[in-house]
Amino acid sequence: MAMAVDPALPKLRNGPERSLAAAFAVTLVVFAAAPFVLYPVFLMQALCFALFACAFNLLIGYVGLLSFGHAMFFGWASYVAAHAAKSWGFPPEAALLFATLCAAGLGVVAGGIAIRRQGIYFAMITLALAQMMYFVALRVPFTGGEDGIQNVPRGRLFGVIDLSNDMTMYVFVLVVVLAGFLFIYRIVNSPFGEVLKAIRENELRAVSLGYKTDRYKLVAFVLSATLAGLAGALKALVLHLASLTDVYWTMSGEVVLMTLVGGLGTLFGPVVGAFLIVALENYLASFGQWVLVIQGSIFVVCVLAFRRGMIGELGNALRIKL
Amino acid sequence: MRTAASLAVALTALMMTAAHAQVNVKIGVMSDMSGLYADLGGPGSVVAAKMAVDDFNPAAHGLKVDIVSADMLNKPDVGANIARQWFDVDHVDVIVDVPNSGVALAVNEVAREKNKVFLVSGAASSDLTGAKCSPDTIHWTYDTWMLANGTGKALVKTGGDTWFFITADYAFGHALERDTTAVIVANGGKVVGSVNVPLNNADFSSFLLQAQQSKAKIIGLANAGGDTINSIKQGSEFGITAGGQHFAGLLVFVSDVNALGLKVAQGLTLTETWYWDMNDANRAWTKRWQAERAGKFPTMIHAGVYSAITHYLKAVADLKSAADGKAVVAKMKELPTDDPLFGKGTIRADGRKIHPAYLFEVKKPEESKYPGDYYNLRSTIPADEAFRPLKDDNCPLVSAAK
Amino acid sequence: MVEIFGIPSQALLGQLLIGLINGSFYALLSLGLAVIFGMLNIINFSHGAQYMMGAFAAYLLLQYLGLNYWGALLVVPILVGAIGILIERLFLRHIRELDHLYGLILTFGLALIIEGLFRNYFGSSGKPYQIPTALQGGRNLGFMYLPNYRAWVIVFSLAVCLATWFVIERTRLGSYLRAATENPALVRAFGINVPRMVTLTYGFGVALAALAGVMAAPVYNVSPQMGSDLIIVVFAVVVIGGMGSILGAILTGFGLGVIEGLTKVFFPEASSTVIFVIMAVVLLVRPAGLFGRTV
């Protein structure tokens, strides 16, 4: 049974294209100006998580599959990219590419196993697989176990642009994340995307119409895994570090939180959610104890009263589909 | 006349500003405030830091000192992030404590990159003065080599010559087992078996059974925190000590003994470099510390934070600047250390603080006369033997100097 | 001495017994989860936190009221069960019509809140709790030394599990419960107060978790993390057994405890992962679990 995330279709106004273009323009301006106001490393970290949340949202918001194991793609791509950049001396674009391909491969294997089931069983299988990958990460020597892979060099992009400068790196990260975001937009607003939404609404009906739903779901799963992997690889380069936190099941829980807060099934929701949660955690670093309680409360409030999430509510109020 | 007056005023103003030219110093205490190691370091470290600053009397030395603190949640990425933010944005000059080896190694690199000082009191990894040594880092209180050498050597010499290891299956546990095995073998002992236990495992009965069946005289616990507590608690349930075997806690703190209770922990051997009840100076300090941490006892990590900051401030006062990390650390290595807790000591070229280590044994419940009276001193390991010799370090700083 | 795969058979027997003991905890916890899911279709992610509350309640009752282990065994499940009823009334009731997965997220959030609060107040290093004097010591069985307390754990859990199974599967009250899950409207039409049954059932499931917590207090470290470390494993156990099956939960709990115990002997590093591997395999072959009903 798919998750019902769009309780009432908002009455659209101004045509979807124009309002989306406007929202996009606003976002671009904000991000162009942001590094002069806020700390660039924090922004880059939030951008990586934004991409991660968008990738996750592709699966839950548009296909209706709750994966509780996305951390394995994020984390393992992070490790692979870190290792490639540090021990094999890959330039950043090669490290990113290689790590993303690995995540895609992992997605094919995991998807192949998990897609056969729906709902809670799907969630549990993804959780189990992610736990297994966590234990593998713990034991395999190249990941550095509890210490993680540290001192990851950012390298020179295309052999020319030195990424160790935070501002230069920021531009690069912004470009990559925007590209990922646009890619997701393309997927969602395409015939393929329409079939996915049909599967979310009523899978049996889609099957009766002749669509091989399993194949569609698997492709969506692999795309989601690949983009999550890209986010992870990027994060490893930004923070010079890949660690066990990235593969542990609580990371999967975090991305659920980000997407829920931002708004399931909206385009901009996961981005907003990611920024909010990363900012919250940074701000609460000095009150470490309260992070758990606050995160838990946000989950509870969102489920009880705020199911559309921030962007969902905003879109509903403005009558545009964000 | 007017010019003379204005000149006088200008001169006075100049003199006043010169006299008030202060050096601003910001200390960042990064620790585990809410997790597994909150009692080892945590808020207690912040208290120790404040005490160090107060006792030093910064104003008298022309310094103005601020303290900030943060919770690194035992995650290297969180720690590295906080370190970066502190150094780049918040003008922190020195980071102290960090009771987690993974996080400490990450912060070590950030400090090296930004040329700021890092004083490690809480973490154990001997790599901090080995392969990963840095001209900006000083490793205070203790390390894995000292623990292995202290507990391992002392036990083998007093008859504990067959060992069985229960090891936490990750880098720290393996390092501890490896270092202790080397010491055991070098002193004529034998390791008859070992078992790797996954992290966060709650039940040790299966592994304890294997240890019992190995008939080793000593069961070495190459783990920490909750794992150690569980192993010992369940060990007492299975009658390990009653059957004649002894536990060697390779990384045990006063707070762990507090959590276990003496009935269960009695007879446990461990090595620490500071104990609150060893002399009057320690007791007096503990009383002051407890004013803010009621019901708890300070660990050697807290003492290390106090000692490190005291020495750091001395160096900064001497240099009149905290800006250049390498310069401050060089000065700290140049000046001999002296504080009420650790007494006189030195800091080596590789960043290792040198002081004696003590082998303790946990008292029986009937021997304990008051709360916190936990340890009997079994032997003292002199400062020059307690830590790994410079030549075995593989520290690039040391080899470069040659 | 007979050796099996290089391990003397005596040692193996000892490990099997230990596996059975661990299996008791898995069985008790997965029983609670199975009751809640089977009867209410709620995935109770806060089960681990409720288990932890049980252990802490036992500790606090001993510290401040001097109530010993035996008293705690009786009082704590009722206390924590009451909290469970409160949770059901305040939160879970409102999301009954929604997708299961919202229930999972909500209870996950509750688990975070509970663990966070306990961590704030009690710190993370764990509280001491002694084994009750009547159960201290042990006997030498020849192949191993069996602590009396551990023997008690097996016997008592088995008794509780069997009693629960009996009530649900063989009594009239149990049949009302089972009927109410399948067709609440019809059962209501017969005059049975379905919402109250739902609330009480949730409370009962939570009480089981708390009972497991009290039993764990003397042997495992009583700390705020004790639940979250365990909950994922217990979920795996329930999924393997079949999410709605009471008997499945009990048998799988004990069985997986034994398998985990054997893994600890032959391949200890994998002992944390073996349950998940089994879960993935079982779900592929039998999606409803070993004893489950419909998919």
DSSP string, A191-242: HHHHHHHHHHH-HHHHHHTT--HHHHHHHHHHHHHHHHHHHHHHHHHHHTEE
* CATH number assigned to the domain comprising residue C16: 1.10.3470
CA distance A94 to B311: 47
Residue B7: per-residue pLDDT: 61
Tell me the mean pLDDT in the region A122-135: 86
Q: Nearest CA to CA, how far is A172 from chain C (Å)?
A: 35
| 3-state SS class at C76 | helix
CA-based nearest residue in chain C for residue B227: C221
For residue C83, give every residue at least 6 positions away whose Cβ sits within 8 Å of its Cβ, in sequence order, or none: C50, C53, C206
* Kind of pairing between the strands at B137-139 and B117-120: parallel
pLDDT tens digits for range B341-359: 998 899 999 999 999 999 9
Structure tokens at B225: 């925190």
Q: Nearest CA to CA, how far is B126 from chain A (Å)?
A: 13
Q: Tell me: ipTM over 0.90.
A: no
- Assess A141–B contact: CB distance below 8 Å, yes or no: no
- Assess A284–C contact: CB distance below 8 Å, yes or no: no
Give me the residue from B237, B239, B260 closest to C219, CB to CB.
Answer: B237
Structure tokens at A297: 């409360």
Let me know if residue C207 belongs to a domain. yes
CB atoms within 10 A of CB B12: 10
Residues in chain C within 8 Å Cβ distance of A125: 279-280, 283
Let me know if residue C202 belongs to a domain. yes
Residue type, B117: V
Kindly tell me if the per-residue pLDDT of B11 is higher than 60. no
CA distance C42 to C32: 12
Residues forming a β-bridge with B272: B358
R_g over Cα of chain A: 19
* Nearest Cα residue to B174 out of A247, C269, C273: C269
CB atoms within 10 A of CB A21: 11
* Nearest Cα residue to A176 out of A31, A22, A39, A79: A31
| Helix A191-201 vs helix A213-239: crossing angle, to nearest 10 | 110
CA distance B259 to C126: 6
CB contact (8 A) between residue C265 and residue B206: yes
- Measured between its terminal Cα atoms, the distance across chain A in Å is 25
- Assess A300–C contact: CB distance below 8 Å, yes or no: yes
Residue with tokens 């999967």: A252
| 3-state SS class at A321 | coil
List the single best residue of C41, C101, C223, C290 to mutate versus A (max A Cβ within 10 A).
C101
Cβ atoms B74, A147 nearer than 8 A = no
- Assess B71–C contact: CB distance below 8 Å, yes or no: no
- Measured between its terminal Cα atoms, the distance across chain C in Å is 48
Structure tokens at A263: 């708004």
- DSSP character for C98? S
Percent above pLDDT 90 for chain A: 41
A75 burial via Cβ count (<10 Å: 0-12, 13-18, 19+): buried
Tell me the mean pLDDT in the region B368-381: 90
CA distance C284 to C282: 5
- Assess A35–B contact: CB distance below 8 Å, yes or no: no
Q: Report chain C's mean pLDDT, rounded to a whole number.
A: 86
In angstroms, the Cα distances linking B227 to B10, B232, B252 are 67, 9, 11
| 3-state SS class at B247 | strand
Let me know if residue C295 belongs to a domain. no
Residue B19: per-residue pLDDT: 47
Q: Nearest CA to CA, how far is A17 from chain C (Å)?
A: 31
**Backbone phi, psi, residue C245, to 5°:** -95, 120
Percent above pLDDT 70 for chain A: 93
CA distance C234 to C225: 15
Cβ atoms B53, B17 nearer than 8 A = no
* Nearest Cα residue to A269 out of A284, A255, A282: A255
- Domain extent for C202: 3-285
| 3-state SS class at A1 | coil
CA distance B305 to A80: 37
CA distance A301 to A310: 12
The residue ranges of DSSP E strands in chain A, in sequence order, are: 149-150, 156-157, 161-162, 241-242
In angstroms, the Cα distances linking C67 to A156, B73, C72, C76, C240 are 67, 35, 7, 10, 38
Let me know if residue C291 belongs to a domain. no
Kindly tell me if the per-residue pLDDT of C58 is higher than 80. yes
CA distance A102 to B323: 44
Q: Is C255 left (phi over 0), alpha (psi -120 to 50) or beta?
A: alpha
Kindly tell me if the per-residue pLDDT of A61 is higher than 80. yes
- Assess C16–A contact: CB distance below 8 Å, yes or no: no
pTM (whole model) above 0.95: no
- Assess B260–C contact: CB distance below 8 Å, yes or no: yes
**Backbone phi, psi, residue C48, to 5°:** -65, -40
Residue C99: per-residue pLDDT: 77
Cβ atoms A242, A81 nearer than 8 A = yes
Kindly tell me if the per-residue pLDDT of B64 is higher than 60. yes
Cβ atoms A193, A187 nearer than 8 A = yes
Is the dihedral angle over the CA atoms A85, A88, A89, A92 positive or is it negative?
A: negative
Residue B66: per-residue pLDDT: 93
Residues in chain A within 8 Å Cβ distance of B198: 135, 138
Residue B310: per-residue pLDDT: 94
Residue A6: per-residue pLDDT: 47
Residue with tokens 């990738």: A55
Residues in chain C within 8 Å Cβ distance of B226: 125-126, 221, 223, 225
Helix (H) or strand (E) holding C285: helix C274-285
Q: Nearest CA to CA, how far is C113 from chain B (Å)?
A: 14
| 3-state SS class at B95 | strand
Binned at pLDDT 50, 70 and 90, residue C143 comes out as confident
Binned at pLDDT 50, 70 and 90, residue A7 comes out as very low
CB contact (8 A) between residue B76 and residue A148: yes
* Nearest Cα residue to C180 out of C164, C206, C204, C198: C198
List the single best residue of C118, C235, C276 to mutate versus A (max A Cβ within 10 A).
C276
Residue C2: per-residue pLDDT: 58
Tell me the mean pLDDT in the region A51-73: 92
| Helix C172-182 vs helix C194-216: crossing angle, to nearest 10 | 110
List the single best residue of B81, B100, B199 to mutate versus A (max A Cβ within 10 A).
B81
Helix (H) or strand (E) holding B399: helix B396-401
Residues in chain C within 8 Å Cβ distance of B261: 128, 130
pLDDT tens digits for range C157-189: 999 999 999 988 888 888 888 887 777 788 888
pLDDT tens digits for range C184-226: 788 888 888 888 888 888 999 999 999 999 999 988 878 888 8
Domains contained in chain C, number: 1
Give me the residue from A66, A121, A297 closest to C113, CB to CB.
Answer: A297
- Assess A139–B contact: CB distance below 8 Å, yes or no: yes
Kindly tell me if the per-residue pLDDT of A126 is higher than 80. yes
Residue A11: per-residue pLDDT: 47
Give me the residue from B209, B229, B260 closest to C18, CB to CB.
Answer: B209
In angstroms, the Cα distances linking A187 to A71, A180, B85, B172, C145 are 22, 11, 37, 45, 63
Report DSSP letters for C109-177, one per residue.
HHHHHHHHHHHHHH-SS-B--PPPGGG-SEEE-SSSEEEHHHHHHHHHHHHHHHHHHHHHHHSHHHHHH
- Three-state SS annotation for B150-197: HHHHHHHHCCCCEEEEEEECCHHHHHHHHHHHHHHHHCCCEEEEEEEE
* Kind of pairing between the strands at B353-354 and B343-347: antiparallel
Cβ atoms B319, B311 nearer than 8 A = no
Q: Nearest CA to CA, how far is A254 from chain B (Å)?
A: 15
Give me the residue from B70, B71, B102 closest to A147, CB to CB.
Answer: B102
Cβ atoms C150, C261 nearer than 8 A = no
Highest-scoring range by mean pLDDT, A150-154, A235-239, B250-254, C171-175: A235-239
- Assess B371–C contact: CB distance below 8 Å, yes or no: no
**Backbone phi, psi, residue A127, to 5°:** -60, -45
Binned at pLDDT 50, 70 and 90, residue C124 comes out as confident
Binned at pLDDT 50, 70 and 90, residue A283 comes out as confident
Tell me the mean pLDDT in the region A146-162: 85
CA distance C103 to C109: 10
Q: Nearest CA to CA, how far is A291 from chain C (Å)?
A: 8
CA distance C101 to A235: 29
* Nearest Cα residue to B56 out of B30, B25, B15, B21: B25
B384 burial via Cβ count (<10 Å: 0-12, 13-18, 19+): exposed
Cβ atoms C20, C192 nearer than 8 A = no
Q: Nearest CA to CA, how far is C17 from chain B (Å)?
A: 9
CA distance B49 to B57: 13
Q: Report chain A's mean pLDDT, rounded to a whole number.
A: 87
Binned at pLDDT 50, 70 and 90, residue B18 comes out as very low
Highest-scoring range by mean pLDDT, A179-188, A304-313, B171-180, B235-244: A179-188
Let me know if residue C290 belongs to a domain. no
Residue A275: per-residue pLDDT: 92
pLDDT tens digits for range C27-45: 999 999 988 887 777 889 8
Let me know if residue C173 belongs to a domain. yes
